[in-house]
Amino acid sequence: MFRDHFLNDLTIHADAPMARRMFDDLDEVRSDLARRLTRAAKDRRSPMHVPAVVTSDVDARTMVLRAFDPKAWTLRFHTDTRAPKVDAVKADPRMAVLFYDKSAKIQIRVRGTGEVLEQDALTDTAWSNSTNFARRCYLGDGPGAVSDAPTSGLPERFEGVEPTDDEVAPGRPNFAVLRITLEELDWFYLAHTGHVRAQFERSGDQWEGRWVSP
Ligand SMILES: Cc1cc2nc3c(=O)[nH]c(=O)nc-3n(C[C@H](O)[C@H](O)[C@H](O)COP(=O)(O)O)c2cc1C
């Protein structure tokens, strides 16, 4: 049923068998995965730039992927210390992230352990590399704060206005990095000749790969 549904939806691409042959090696698939995550972090036009980030409290939300470290296999996101997801990660750090690139027909699912970093060098650097326009988001009410009327949560004077360095400084304690250390990878390529799927499990610095039925 699942398979038929996908096959019906698929555009038939003449180059699919070629692409499939490119991915007949697990090391090549893992390199492809690393390349895609690297691009996802750097290129805001990448369809994988805004994945769904899943916490252990069975909740998911869209977040901007800020960085991928292909040596440590970590993902970096930015968030507000007051966001409910921060409490969820602290209570149980198991996490998943879902990426899909429709034109490449590739889905990437990853699982790992999340950490919320608030007062450390990495978070300081992430804060200093942000624009004041982006930092402004940390000046208002925390995500999920209830309001009597539709609200941006921002102080009115900063709506659509870039604050100065001094004005934005009080937002710093609300800013955090969410870092996820990946432990499991799942790569899925949709092809009309037959989908291809590979999984990888981490053991220390090594990744153990295997092919699985889609
Ligand atoms: C395109 C898009 C990008 C987003 N990027 C982020 C982000 O980078 N960090 C973040 O904390 N929330 C981001 N959000 C908002 C979250 O999806 C979410 O609504 C908010 O963080 C509250 O989540 P929580 O209640 O699960 O903590 C983004 C939303 C959209 C639609």
> Tens of pLDDT along 18-67?
555 567 899 999 999 999 999 999 999 999 999 999 999 999 999 999 99
> Rounded to the nearest whole angstrom, what is the distance from the C-alpha of residue 103 to the centroid of ligand 1?
24
Q: Please state the atom number of ligand 1 nearest to the C-alpha of residue 77.
A: 8
Q: What local confidence, expressed as pLDDT, does residue 96 receive?
A: 99
Provide the 10 A C-beta neighbour count for residue 18: 9
Q: What local confidence, expressed as pLDDT, does residue 182 receive?
A: 98
Could you tell me the pTM of the whole model? 0.91
Atom 25, ligand 1: which residue's CA is nearest? 84
CA distance 165 to 30: 42
> Rounded to the nearest whole angstrom, what is the distance from the C-alpha of residue 107 to the centroid of ligand 1?
21
Higher-scoring residue by pLDDT: 52, 158: 52
> Rounded to the nearest whole angstrom, what is the distance from the C-alpha of residue 142 to the centroid of ligand 1?
12
Q: 23-26 long-range contacts, Cβ below 8 Å, gap at least 24?
A: 23/189, 23/196, 23/198, 26/198, 26/200, 26/209, 26/210, 26/211
> Rounded to the nearest whole angstrom, what is the distance from the C-alpha of residue 80 to the centroid of ligand 1?
9
- Ligand 1 pocket (Cβ < 6 Å) reads 50, 59, 61-64, 77-80, 83-85, 143-144
What are the start-end ranges of the H helices in the chain? Answer: 2-9, 16-22, 26-42, 84-91, 121-128, 132-135, 165-168
Give tens-digit pLDDT for 172-212.
999 999 999 999 999 999 998 889 999 999 999 899 999 99
Determine which helix (DSSP H) or strand (DSSP E) holds 143, and give its type and residue range: none
| Residues 6 or more apart in contact with residue 110 via CB below 8 angstroms | 75, 96, 97, 99, 180, 182, 184, 185, 186
> Rounded to the nearest whole angstrom, what is the distance from the C-alpha of residue 105 to the centroid of ligand 1?
25
Q: What local confidence, expressed as pLDDT, does residue 167 receive?
A: 94
Q: What local confidence, expressed as pLDDT, does residue 94 receive?
A: 98
Higher-scoring residue by pLDDT: 188, 15: 188
Residue of 49, 61, 87 with the most ligand 1 atoms within 8 Å of its CB, for mutation:
61
Atom 6, ligand 1: which residue's CA is nearest? 63
